[in-house]
Structure 1
Amino acid sequence: MMFVPPVLIAVIGPVEPALLTAWVAHYRSLGIARFHLAFHFPDHVAPDRRRRVLATSHDLGIGPEAISTGPWHEHTNTDLRNALRERAGTGWHLLADSDEFQSYSAPMAELIAAAELSGTGTVGGLMLDRVASDGALAGFDAEQELDTVYPLGGFLTHRLLRGDPRKIVLAHSGVPVASGNHRAEGHRPVNRPPVLVHHFKWRSGVQDDVARRAAYSADGTWRASSPARLSEARRLLDHLRRHDGRIAVDSTDMIFRPVSLVAVPSWWSGEATRLVDAWRPPSPPADQSPSASTISSPSS
């Protein structure tokens, strides 16, 4: 039987048009032809920025299936994603945020066939955080290449933020997936190594975005079902404050190394497999109280 590539499901925020363009091109290069996208814009996003993002989507030949505005509660993304999955219908879904670029060391068709044979209905991935060579939160535009601007990869989400670095990258339509696409209860992926998910979150503007997330999560403006979103935001802001607004790329804990979108590094299989097999949720911190600078009001 001929392999039919999965439909891509994603909820997109106010990203740079250049990043959205690169993201669509990347997944089209993997054989993805069907995109089911929803766009959500928090209230602080200027109308002109919304128009540019939506115009870019239309220029790429992808009509948004839903456009929403308002607070970015934890359930907002999940609700929109689930509605897209329902519309996409029966079959396999590729799940990817707009800053996540998946890289496969085995053919997607083989991974899906193995997942069907195992009965899990899922294929798992692991995030590798991409940063600039000097740790600066660098901007990205249409004249640049992602590998040039963010040449280093490391385990920032896992080591620094103590967040869940695991991702469900492919799921059958009958498998419910948790918030953030981090897990599917009762359907733990068995593929090893996990699919490499290049995570290009650490760009210009992210410090304001994370400060806003921390402030709004702390005061309840943006609701969350667990303290993880707030604690991860505080850890990043504290790190940036201690390193003059940069990510410490010389950290021996996060292990930043040169990587590229065009090849899975030779060390990935062993290191990523050990990490994903050993990962457990971190214990709650003893002191949840933030410093004043950590939860200062975000800029617009």
Structure 2
Amino acid sequence: MAPTPDARRGSPAAETAIVVPSFDRPQELKECLAHLARLEGGPWRVIVVDDGSTVPVDLSGVSGNINATCIRRANGGPGAARNTGVAAAEGARWILFTDDDCRPRPDWALKLIEAQAGAERRLVGGRIENALPENAYSAASQALANSLTEHHAARGGGMAFFTTNNMCCLRADFLHVGGFDPAFRQASEDRDLSLRWREAGGELVHEAAAIVDHAHRLTLASFWKLHASYGRGARHLHRRLAREGDTRARFEALSFYAGLLARRDPVQAALMGLSQIATTAGYAGAALSEAQTKTQGRMMSDKSNLGAAEPVWCLTCVGVQDDLTLLPHWLRHYLELGIAPERVIVILNAESADAPGIGAAREILKAHGVVRPPEIWIAPYTSGTMWQQRAEAQTRICAPEDWVLNADVDEFQRWPEPLTDCLARAAALGADCVQGVMIDRLARDGTLAPVHPDPHIFEQFPLRGEVAMAIGGTSPVHGRGGTVKIMAARARILPHRGGHSPARGTGASYLYRYPLGSFHEIDDPGFRFSVPTQVDHVHWTESLPARLDRRLTTPGVSPAGAEYGRRQLDHFAANGGGVALDQVTLEGNASLEATDWPGRLAQLRRIGRRKPLTAPLRNRMGPRSQRILAAWRRMLGQNGLRR
């Protein structure tokens, strides 16, 4: 017998959360909860995640041996819904998954936990039985799933995957592997999780005594639709693996397909065959759709469709001593841009592991549905080390062709059309790096104002202007290139320190054809305000002087950072502790016009062609050498030596 969970931790039920996603199946959910209420060893904590049902889930009639709560979220698919449930299961040691059309047997939870036994990196899956024997489609569908389980068990080497309606693991391990990939909205999220679980060094253990009865009522049409979705999910998974360099075929051996038809009655054998035709059709349809999208993308001059197979991540670093007031605003902004909470990567920086801000930051992330546990970086802040931390996280977590938004916690990106449309437009033009200009945000009177929870951050800092260069000026180590930022790039393109340009040797292709910092006109604030991709920089806040003082005394501060920081402090000292509005260029009431975006993009790509003779040399230079060359060019212009 497997070892039982450590009794010193209390009863298993007290340390367990059962997560049940639900979408528009109120009767099935009611039946599922009734069976959960009869589980042995309770009371059990049940978290129902209403994935945007037409009629919100109502738990008012639930009673029995469970403590049930409901979380309602916008529809994002069952994988994303399960992630939301796990994020809400604070304090749970074990997580059990089942679906709203399942009926767990009384000893189900205890059997799963007994098999899991508190072992790290152990994913346990139970047995699923068909609860509707009179429904030929349901019987055939479940028989297919069980045949796959039996096939892998018979050939040895462990289970290939577990279905998500009967699964158990440690919550910490689930969070460590990143949870379910929300890009799999219909199917194959279980296969993807199981693969990543193995890649992380985990094991898959089958517990046949942990049984749920599956009451998935099907018709001929829904049977076909279900198995076609399996094919689309498989294609999505294969494409994800191919992007990561794994091009191996992942289809079952012919012996498995032959076994499907053996020892079965003619009706079930026919339905088994039909299921495979539907799966093949779904796979082929998804592959054809991808090919058409690629063809259209090459032919079009404006934009293409960015599918779910190209995930978009958002990555930041937060100093828990100074940045927590901005973090809720930052999270709301990027979630509203369309970043999935599951794809937010946060690095928390503190000088000691017991800094109280770490716990506060975790609570903020939890309140906004961020499932992935934050990366913890304990050390004094320096820009160089911070960008090393970000590059390491980007390389480790993201696939090379994923899009990544790198944004400091005081940076709020502005896109001239929906984010996915902008990235699709960039991809259609062959670009894998999108830069934007930084526009400073100021309080109405220029004071370094505190950041409050409300109102919106842009209402608290309503002025937009060119402040950084007005105060910091330019020098061989600090130029206008420092106010250009990479807004989005493929994950294989790592940012150089500061995030202004790609690291040397990455071979980036830019949306505007050339780096924005190389445009002659970048010196002109009016030109900068006209660039459609912008980053609103909420830098000029109450905590800034203390942050600058601390960073200037930290060993390893960059020369550019030290010089720029001193100039800011000198400006504040000379102007009553704030920004002198008469010394900066304000945008006024100008705003981005989305209708002008395609034309302005085409115009900037034409402007980018007008390169000076030094362009080939500059493309081979490092960032510092480029800044020196830019300062030399500005000197020539100021002395009338360059047109």
Aligned pairs (5 A) from 1:111-260? 111-162=422-473, 163=479, 164-184=482-502, 185=504, 186-187=507-508, 189-191=510-512, 193-216=531-554, 221=555, 223-224=556-557, 226-251=558-583, 254-258=584-588
User: Tell me, what secondary structure is at the counterpart of 2:562?
Assistant: helix
Determine which of 372, 384, 392 is the counterpart of 1:75: 384
Shifted more, 79-88 versus 125-134: the winner is 79-88
How far the C-alpha of 1:258 sits from its partner, in A, is 4.6
How far the C-alpha of 1:257 sits from its partner, in A, is 3.7
Shifted more, 81-90 versus 50-59: the winner is 50-59
User: Tell me, what secondary structure is at the counterpart of 1:187?
Assistant: coil
Question: What is the CA deviation profile of residues 140-162 of structure 1, one whole-angstrom value per residue up to 9, with x for unaligned ones?
Answer: 12133212221111111233224
Task: Work out the CA distance in 2 between the residues paired with 1:238 and 1:188.
Answer: 39
How far the C-alpha of 1:230 sits from its partner, in A, is 0.3
How far the C-alpha of 1:187 sits from its partner, in A, is 2.3
Task: Establish whether residue 102 from structure 1 lines up as the match of residue 413 from structure 2.
Answer: yes
Number of residue pairs aligned between Structure 1 and Structure 2: 268
Task: Work out the CA distance in 1 between the residues paired with 2:351 and 2:436.
Answer: 28
Structure 1 runs of 4+ with >6 Å offset: none
Task: Work out the CA distance in 2 between the residues paired with 1:215 and 1:46.
Answer: 22
How far the C-alpha of 1:21 sits from its partner, in A, is 1.1
Question: What is the CA deviation profile of residues 165-204 of structure 1, one whole-angstrom value per residue up to 9, with x for unaligned ones?
Answer: 0000000012122112100144263338351100001111
Question: What is the CA deviation profile of residues 107-155 of structure 1, one whole-angstrom value per residue up to 9, with x for unaligned ones?
Answer: 4334323433444410011111101111111011213321222111111
- Shift in CA distance, 188/256, structure 1 to aligned 2, threshold 3 Å: farther
Determine which of 349, 352, 359 is the counterpart of 1:51: 359
Contact persistence 1:11–1:40 (CA under 8 A): yes
Task: Work out the CA distance in 1 between the residues paired with 2:389 and 2:589.
Answer: 32
User: Tell me, what secondary structure is at the counterpart of 1:181?
Assistant: coil
1:264 is matched with 592
Task: Work out the CA distance in 2 between the residues paired with 1:82 and 1:64.
Answer: 17
How far the C-alpha of 1:50 sits from its partner, in A, is 3.2
User: Tell me, what secondary structure is at the counterpart of 2:314?
Assistant: strand
Give the helix-richer structure, 1 or 2: 2
Determine which of 334, 345, 354 is the counterpart of 1:36: 345
Shifted more, 22-31 versus 178-187: the winner is 178-187
Which residue identity is paired with 1:68? Answer: W
Contact persistence 2:416–2:532 (CA under 8 A): no
Q: Percent identity?
A: 25
Larger radius of gyration: 2
Task: Work out the CA distance in 1 between the residues paired with 2:564 and 2:336.
Answer: 33
Shifted more, 146-155 versus 10-19: the winner is 10-19
- Shift in CA distance, 283/193, structure 1 to aligned 2, threshold 3 Å: closer
Unaligned runs of at least 5 residues, structure 1? 285-300
2:333 is matched with 26
Contact persistence 1:95–1:169 (CA under 8 A): yes
Task: Work out the CA distance in 1 between the residues paired with 2:460 and 2:427.
Answer: 38
- Shift in CA distance, 259/207, structure 1 to aligned 2, threshold 3 Å: farther
Greater length-normalized contact order (CA 8 Å, ≥ 6 residues apart): 1
Shifted more, 105-114 versus 21-30: the winner is 105-114
User: Tell me, what secondary structure is at the counterpart of 1:250?
Assistant: helix
Task: Establish whether residue 8 from structure 1 lines up as the match of residue 338 from structure 2.
Answer: no
Contact persistence 1:151–1:259 (CA under 8 A): no
Structure-1-length-normalised TM-score: 0.78
